[in-house]
Each structure stands twice: as C-alpha cells, then as structure tokens.
Structure 1
Amino acid sequence: MIPCDKCPLRRCQYFLPFTEDELAFMLRFKAGELTVEAGTTVLMEGSNSPQVFTVLSGMGTRYKTLEDGNRQVINFLFPGDFIGLQAGVMGEMKHSVEASAPMVLCVFNRSDLWNMFKAHPARAYDLTWIAAVEEHFLGESLTALGQRSAGQRIAWALLRIHHRLRAVGLETAGVVPLAFRQQDLADALGLSLVHTNKTLMQLRKSGLARWSDGSLAIADRTKLAEYAGSAPEPLEQRPLM
C-alpha cells in the first residue's frame, strides 16, 4: 500500500498541497487499497457501501441503468476523483461505478467521514468543494447536450477528457491514454454509436483530434475548443482526498 505521504498524485500541480495536519489525518484516514480489473463493478446503484474511494490510477465510468436496460453515462473517472460519497451521505448509491481499465483505489471507511466533519473541518470543506465541482460539471454537461451540435458535443467532451488526463501527468506530446469505448462516449452525450463514430472520423480527417488504439491525440487545443464553441480550460487546482 502506498502511504499518503508518498502518493504520486501529490506531485501533480493539479492538486492542492496538504498541510502537515492534513497529511497526518490522511495517513490515518486511509484504510487500504483495492485493485480491480477492467469491467469490474466497483459500486452498484442501490448498494450501501461501507467504503468510499479515491482513484489512485486507472479510469472508470459513472452510469445509471434505465428501465429498458440501456444506460446513461453520467461522467468519467480519472486519477484523483473521489467516489462513493452518495452512499456516505444518502445511504445508498444512486448510480453505478465501473472500471474501464485496471484501477487502483485508495480505500476509506465511510464511518470515518463523520469524524472528518467534526474534527477536520478543512478536509470536510475540501470534500464539499469536490461535490460542488461535480454539480457544476453536470450543469456543463446538460448545456452541451441541449445547446451544442453532435460534433461540438464530442469535441467538448474530448477536450475535457484530454485536459483531465493532462493535468495528472498522463500526456506525452499531446497524446493521452484513453480506456473508454466509443459506446461510452455515445452514452454520455446522448448520441448513437454510428453518429459518434462518423463524427470522430470527421474530427480525425480535419486534424482536430484522433482517438485510436487506446489513445487520444489533440494537436491544437485552441482550434478544437473553437470548433466545440468553448475555450481551453485553465489549470485550476483542486483538493485531493
């Protein structure tokens, strides 16, 4: 198990540094690590998990299963993301979490969350900040679904994914690993797989983005952002749990 004081994510400028007191708390808060293979359901909708997690490495998807058996991907998970808070606050998960690639998860006992809020308000505020950012992201997603064309939606999503992986040090010469399927992207953006595939081919032919062989390449983020009708995101630091 990697102790929190040696966590590789702490070297990323994307994450705010810990104070000495916060680091000491996290060393006590972390209960272990969990390694899961691609395709594993980490948390199931309706379940009441006794644990919450931070993604140490790997990628995953958050999704809801519909009555007809189809699914709606809510968002994607990357290193540094915190999962399981819904069960910690609401008693059960309102969505499922699946590993899209092999994942290593830092494990925390859900029962210790209450001690965090009582004894470590700064860490509790960080957790609230993370929840607020997720709410903001869902608002942006709804805007993309409602106001952007299919091509703009996909360009926007690829920019967000590339930005997130770039922030945690997984970019090399404009290329990041991408463990998701085109169907995952289609499910997230309310598009058919055929339409998604055609749009990705158009983006590739235009030189704006290339997704192939498990990697995503963006040569010019500004041009892709212009196509998406948005702006390249600045690197805004965020807390790490």
Structure 2
Amino acid sequence: MAQTKPLSPSRIPCELCPLRRRESFRDFTAEELAFVSSFKIGELATDPGATIIVEGEMHPQLYTAMAGWGFRYKILEDGRRQILNYILPGDLIGLQGTLMTEMLHSVEALTRMTLCIFERDRLTSLFRNHPSLAYDLTWIASREESMLDEHLLSIGRRTAIERAAYLLSFLDNRAHVVGVFGEDGPKILPLTQQHVADTLGLSLVHTNKTLRKLADLGTIRWLDRGCEVLEREKLMDIAGWRPANEKLRPFI
C-alpha cells in the first residue's frame, strides 16, 4: 500500500530550493526568502498512490510540491471519481483548508513526491507583513480558478477527442514550463488511462478508443508508464487550445 512518509526536518534549505533555479519561477527577495525559510517546518516524501489530504478533514498544514506529480479529486458516494486538476512542482496544496473549515477535495500522489510543509497558523503573518507574498497567493488561487474554468469548458463543450487532446496538451505544456522533463529521453506524462477517464468524465472503454484515435493521428504514444506527446502543435490544433503567455510565476 502506498505510504506517506513521516514528517522530516528540511533536508533542502530554501536558499538551495531547486525551483529557484528554474526559469519559469519568480525568485524571492532576501526578506521574502528569510520569511519563507522560517515559515517552512519540514518536508514530506510520498509514494505513488499515497493520500496527502482527505476531503472533509481539518488540515493543519499547507504544502508546496517541490518534486513529483499529484492530483486533486472528489469522489461520489458510489465510488465514482472526478479528477479536478493535476499538481506539479511549485503548486500550493491545502489553501482551501486554511481559508475554510474543512477540505472540499482530496489530494493523491501520482508519482513519488517531495512536499515542503508550512505552518497554517502563520499564514496571517504572511498577509500582514509580506504583501508581495500575499499577492503571490492571490495570483496562485486566481490561476487555479482559470485552469478549472478551462477544464469545465472542456468537459461541457468539447468532443471526446478534443477533451483528450486538450488534457494531454495542457499537462505537456505545464510540464515543459515548470521544467520537470529532462533534456534527453522521452518526455512522459505519468498517467494511466483510468486517470484520463476520471478527468474527462468518460468511461474507460470510451477513453481507450479516443486515445487510440490520437495515437493513430501520430500525436501521442501510449506507454506502460504513461503518455508521450509526439506532435505538440497538432495536438493543440485538435483541442482548439493554446496556452496563455505567462510571465514569471510565483511560488511559496
């Protein structure tokens, strides 16, 4: 069974955070870095399939994904699952449970993940003393809302093949932007077809047929460990989608 490893002290100081070296992220000022370093209380390592947050619980901590992939989801009473969005390095986890009484969704690790852990109780001091970081949190929440808007449009109005093309284009673009792919070798999205089905609101059989159509068009290749995008522009054309031109994105 997948495990969440016990909380451990910070092994990577914020000064040496690998996200700070990536071109897509806004770096901290010296004052911001000092606060974030004191805000962080440790790190958490998870195995693939580990549950990080459970819907309905009062969660005392915030996390930033430092490495790995995860996803947010909700489950109906009969066990049907809807994946809401995917988590990549730099994404904030648990803000909803900070501002509301309880978490309204669950979070699961898709691959091995390393998470930075922050004290929820100190969030008020961030808003009070560090307005630039408070703005960053607002930016992160607004960006999440815009992504969910696009996902809702996809489920509501795109055809099955357009939905699948959009999802894979969206994740491939995000992975390139945050720098999770290595320079050499195939660039694999670590999804199963069940993950795709649960994101698109399609049956597994329908999802399999749809992905086969995209593969026959030469846009993707499905592997045992995930999906490789072969023709990025063609896949985006099928989806009728282009990524927004973002400036440097913040993280906590």
- Name the CA distance, whole Å, in 2 between partners of 1:87 and 1:60: 17
Residue by residue, what CA displacement relative to the aligned partner does 1:41-70 show, whole Å, maximum 9, x if unpaired?
100001111111001111111001112121
Structure 1 length normalisation: TM-score? 0.95
Matches within 5 A, 1:202-241: 202-234=213-245, 236-241=247-252
Separation in 1, partners of 2:169, 2:121: 37
One-letter amino acid of the counterpart of residue 23, structure 2: Q
Runs (4+) of structure 1 exceeding 4 A deviation are none
Give the deviation of 1:134 after TM superposition. Answer: 0.6
Worse-superposed segment, 120-129 or 209-218: 209-218
Q: TM-score, normalised by structure 2?
A: 0.91
1:102-113 paired onto structure 2 within 5 Å: 102-113=112-123
Counterpart of 1:108 in 2: which secondary structure?
Answer: strand
Give 5+ residue unaligned stretches, structure 1: none
- Give the aligned length: 241
Residue 34 of structure 1 aligns with an amino acid whose one-letter code is L
Equivalent in 63, 67, 77 of residue 87 of structure 2: 77
1:202 is aligned with what amino acid? K
The one of 11, 14, 28 equivalent to 2:24 is: 14
**Shift of the alpha carbon at 1:10?**
1.1
Distance 1:29 1:183 in 2: 37
Match of residue 127 from structure 2: 117
In structure 1, what is the equivalent of residue 151 of structure 2? 141
Of residues 190, 199, 203, the one that matches 1:179 is: 190
More divergent stretch after superposition (230-239 vs 130-139): 230-239
CA distance in structure 2 between the aligned counterparts of 1:233 and 1:143, rounded to whole angstroms: 16
Give the counterpart letter for 1:109 in structure 2.
Answer: E
Change (3 A) 1:66 1:159: same
Cα deviations by residue, 1:151-171 (Å, 9 ceiling, x for unpaired): 000100001100111112233
Matched AA of 2:93: I
Residue 19 of structure 1: how far off its partner (Å)? 1.3
For residues 137 and 168 of structure 1, what CA distance do their matches in structure 2 show? 16
Contact 2:67 2:114 in 1 (8 A): yes
Secondary structure of the residue aligned to 2:132 is helix
In 2, Cα distance between the equivalents of 1:120 and 1:39?
35
Unaligned runs of 5+ in 2: 1-10
- Higher mean Cα deviation, 13-22 or 86-95? 13-22
1-side partners of 2:248 and 2:127: how far apart?
Answer: 22
